[in-house]
A = this chain, B = another copy of it.
Amino acid sequence: MAKEKKLVEAITSMEEDFAQWYTDVVKKAELVNYTSVKGCMVLRPAGYAIWENIMHELDARFKATGVENVGMPLFIPESLLQKEKDHVEGFAPEVAWVTHGGSEKLQERMCVRPTSETLFCELYKDIVHSHRDLPKVYNQWCSVVRWEKTTRPFLRTTEFWWQEGHTAHATYEDAEARTVQMLNVYADFCEQMLAIPVIKGQKTDKEKFAGAQTTYTIEALMHDGKALQSGTSHNFGDGFARAFGIQYSDKNNQLQYVHQTSWGMSTRIIGALIMVHGDDSGLVLPPRIAPTQVMVIPIAQHKEGVLEKAEELRAELAAAGFKVKVDTTDKNPGWKFSEQEMRGIPLRVELGPKDIEAGQAVLVRRDTREKRVVALTELAENVKDMLDTMQKDMYDRAKAHLESHMYEAKTYDEFKDTVANKPGFVKAMWCGDLACELKIKEDTTATSRCMPFEQEHISDVCVCCGKPAKKLVYWGKAY
């Protein structure tokens, strides 16, 4: 019992200490394990299964737009990394360097990829010759390494898993269309599958990707009012193509530089899932992404027929297309409920001898604790209904939370007061100067999250300097 008690008690409440709550959840829901490798985590089965579902779902959406998957090398020779000036400046300070192979010192050191633009450029230079070879729309699923000083599971780790799409096009317009298309794929995926509403916008020059001409982003709002950049899509123009010499002959047999994009979503999004939907009992997973959607929990399972009936319901629900398990361990039901809740399994089916006698079961939703006593003959349709409703409700709640944490500021005092006292996004006008962006960060720790696609005009002047405003920016503290 000592161990059981520990698990139930060990969750700090969100109100008390949000950061500790987060750490407790990732550990107690058995999503990750720490390792002796600095800043690296193990994704345990419960955590990796979420990532598998994300991969499966995103991959299908990618392929529907013509994406082809490839496998690229793990290493980048130093000279290759250095070919694009902005890119190397952005990444060189945070890479891991391989200097020895076996017992020999390498002639040229190589970094473990922090991202693979340079490797894709080398490939495209080799295989793109004619306009007939375009577009190339490649993607890879892999892990990358960035040498982080302070790390937190999913949110910032030395190694993380992601996909990185890299494309080459004949024209700037084609590249731009793909950049926006993939941002929309990310946004739809977050909203439809993860029940996370996002804001789509463009990064300021300061916040854009090293080497990009334009970076688009989707930004989500966590339960504590901090923002999380959840996916980005970059248009490189022909910058990398010029640095690497990637040219094709067009229909008039003239040599042209290709235009490139890249776009990525990572295991970071699991951090968003936790912080948007979780509660004081642990994880809450949206039904569409949950590795296990329904847990059947037998009550008084030692009694004759209980386990058999539980297995029968499992088989019935599995046949109806649900991801369902039975908890047949020798723990007591209360403990099993706590575990199912901690792990965020959307629905539980409670089934005891009396239920069986009455031809019924008790369904309990993870998010609202809504209970329904349903006839066993109507089990599958009730499960479907409750899961569908839960998915929708989770999105609606997250959307309401986002909208109720969206503020406007017209003066700098108002801005500083809002950032200090009202967690969320602050809409404010900006003159476009880096100086104001830096001053705002210095004064408030808030950063420009994005210049939203849906621009509004809330004032004529920059909230910071009072000069004429160019853009509406969403500002906020961020993970």
Give the CA-CA distance A162 to B478 in the complex, in Å: 37
With A93-B103, A102-B94: A36-B71 Cβ-Cβ less than 8 Å: no
* CB neighbors of B among A71-96 (8 A): 71-77, 80, 93-96
Set of chain B residues within 8 Å of A48, measured between Cβ atoms: 68-71
Of all chain B residues, which has the CB nearest A137?
Answer: B45
B102 contacts A36, CB within 8 Å? no
* CB neighbors of B among A30-57 (8 A): 33, 35-38, 40-45, 47-49, 51-52
With A93-B102, A95-B102, A110-B37: A45-B69 Cβ-Cβ less than 8 Å: yes
A338 at the interface (CB under 8 A from B): no
B96 contacts A71, CB within 8 Å? no
Give the CA-CA distance A74 to B142 in the complex, in Å: 11
Give the CA-CA distance A249 to B38 in the complex, in Å: 30
A126 at the interface (CB under 8 A from B): yes
A145 at the interface (CB under 8 A from B): yes
| Of listed A73, A103, A127, A159, residue having the most chain B CB within 10 A | A73
A97 at the interface (CB under 8 A from B): yes
A98 touches which one: B36, B72, B80, B97 (CB < 8 A)? Answer: B97
A58 at the interface (CB under 8 A from B): no
With A98-B96, A147-B101: A69-B52 Cβ-Cβ less than 8 Å: yes
B35 contacts A49, CB within 8 Å? no
A406 at the interface (CB under 8 A from B): no
Set of chain B residues within 8 Å of A123, measured between Cβ atoms: 33, 35, 42
B112 contacts A74, CB within 8 Å? yes
Determine how close the nearest CB of chain B comes to the CB of A437; give it in whole angstroms.
25
Of all chain B residues, which has the CB nearest A102?
Answer: B147
Instruction: Return 30 A-B CB contacts under 8 Å, by A number.
Output: A33-B123, A33-B127, A35-B73, A35-B119, A36-B122, A37-B119, A40-B73, A40-B74, A40-B75, A42-B70, A42-B71, A42-B73, A42-B123, A43-B70, A44-B70, A45-B68, A45-B69, A45-B70, A48-B69, A48-B71, A52-B69, A71-B161, A73-B159, A75-B96, A75-B159, A95-B102, A97-B99, A97-B101, A98-B98, A99-B100
Could you tell me which A residues sit within 8 Å of B by CB distance?
33, 35-38, 40-45, 47-49, 51-52, 68-77, 80, 93-103, 110, 112, 119, 122-123, 126-127, 132, 138, 142-143, 145, 147, 159, 161, 329
